[in-house]
Amino acid sequence: MPKLKLIVEVVVSQWFAENTFVARLLGRTDCVVVDPGFDAEEIIGHLRQAGLTPAAILNTHGHADHIAGNAALKQQYPDCPLVIGLREAAKLTDPMQNLSGAYGIGLTSPPADRYVQAGDTVEAAGMTLEVLETPGHSSGHVVYLWKGDTPWVLFGGDMLFQGSVGRADFPDSNPTQLVHSIRNQLYTLPDDTLVMPGHGDSTTIGNEKRYNPFVRSIGEPGL
């Protein structure tokens, strides 16, 4: 059986420099959209220009910069299911919990069509994405892992960045959980796993285990 080739493209929203990922398998015209940010028109324009139709909208967590485009995408593609971690559900409709209220924006999202937990899988656009629960940056943060080929690809939200980690000073953040999630959920993945983070450039698990100044390998000092 031929291996499946995953193509991942990014649209960077100007506010907060947040990464929205559009992932599809080579030869297909359906895709998944991960964490649609504030530049919803640019995301929709990218989909149209590429001739793609989203089969799922995936949120890693409910902070405003990662859900800002949900409403526009659901309006444009009403049959496309919106997916988020179960413990992040309230953030979609509560501006104070999704942090937009603190900026005077009052942003809300449509409710999700599906809520996921650890061990669940999302089947969309020919892909099987495994759900890992990674609390720390937010209490219900999840990541989505694609194992369809080598290297694996992790849509990691705001947990692990190139040379950095997600903030842990929000009302429902927990720095101890953040370190635990990175070491016990992410650093146990193969070293060549590609990490597609919510901000900044992509990286690999192995690179961060060796060089990340905040969280090194298991047994080394952390935050």
| Residues 189-208 pLDDT 10s | 999 999 999 999 999 999 99
Kindly state whether residue 122 falls inside one of the protein's structural domains.
yes
Rounded Cα distance between 220 and 212, Å, is: 11
Parent domain of 96: 6-211
For position 15, what pLDDT does the model report? 84
Structure tokens at 104: 């005077």
Question: 3-state class of 20 per DSSP?
Answer: strand
Kindly state whether residue 223 falls inside one of the protein's structural domains.
no
For position 207, what pLDDT does the model report? 97
Kindly state whether residue 29 falls inside one of the protein's structural domains.
yes
Mean pLDDT throughout 114-130?
98
Q: What is the CATH number of the domain that holds 98?
A: 3.60.15.10
For position 193, what pLDDT does the model report? 98
Where residue 219 falls among pLDDT bands split at 50, 70, 90? low
Supply the DSSP symbol for 200: S
Our CA angle for 145, 153, 220, nearest 5°, is 85
| pLDDT single digits (tens) 47-74 | 999 999 999 999 999 999 999 999 999 9
Kindly state whether residue 101 falls inside one of the protein's structural domains.
yes
Q: Are 212 and 220 in contact (CB under 8 A)?
A: no
Asked if residue 221 has pLDDT above 60, the reply is no
DSSP labels, 87-134? GGGGGGT-TTTTT-GGGT-----PPPSEEE-TT-EEEETTEEEEEEE-
For position 4, what pLDDT does the model report? 80
Our CA angle for 3, 158, 29, nearest 5°, is 35
Kindly state whether residue 158 falls inside one of the protein's structural domains.
yes
Domains: count for the chain: 1
Kindly state whether residue 132 falls inside one of the protein's structural domains.
yes
Where residue 1 falls among pLDDT bands split at 50, 70, 90? low
Rounded Cα distance between 173 and 179, Å, is: 11
Asked if residue 143 has pLDDT above 60, the reply is yes
Rounded Cα distance between 35 and 46, Å, is: 15
Where residue 141 falls among pLDDT bands split at 50, 70, 90? very high
The beta-strand segments (E) located in the chain are 6-13, 18-25, 30-34, 53-58, 82-85, 114-116, 121-124, 127-133, 142-146, 153-157, 160-161, 164-165, 194-197, 203-204
For position 220, what pLDDT does the model report? 53
